[in-house]
Amino acid sequence: MKSTALCLASLLFVVGPARASDNTPEGLIKSLYARHQPGKNKNLDWCDKKAISKYCDPRLTDLFIKDCECARRTGEICQLDSDPFYDAQDFDGSDPNLRFKPLSANSFEVTFHNFQDHILIYKMKKTSGGWRVSDIESPADKSSLVKLLTAK
């Protein structure tokens, strides 16, 4: 009996504790910030459709790719002049220390640290591939990522 319990305990130690599922809005956002930490040179490529589509819905993915193509074509900044997941151009390299406050079933206030605490509102959409970001609003700037990327 003791050896069975010891084996189970060892297995849990090796496998590790259950982590938040990427199949929840919070899990997807946590996964995004684990993958994308510019202050630690862990960057998500805005021009990589496959990488972006893991986190963003098809419309937002297409807007990222359109902005990237514009920047490549013109050699200048088109619409996106800062990191939309940090609402910043500079990064401190610390852990983002995410905190979530559900606002509705599809909307979450996310507080994170980058030099100081910042708040973004994540609008989420359930897709055939799971939960994806459909927009990000910045209460500080009174702006929206979709509005920014569709501005003319």
Q: Give all strands of the β-sheet with 99-104 in edge-to-edge order.
A: 99-104, 107-114, 116-127, 130-138, 143-144
pTM attached to this predicted model: 0.83
- Where does 21-150 sit in CATH, by number? 3.10.450.50
> Which of the pair, 89 or 58, is modelled with greater confidence?
58
Query: HEC string of 98-136?
Result: CEEEEEECCEEEEEEEECEEEEEEEEEEEECCEEEEEEE
Is residue 124 pLDDT above 90, yes or no?
Answer: yes
Any idea where the domains of the chain sit in the sequence? 21-150
- pLDDT tens-digit series, residues 22-49: 689 999 999 999 999 988 888 899 899 9
Q: What does the DSSP 8-state code read for residue 57? A: -
pLDDT at 23 (0 to 100): 87
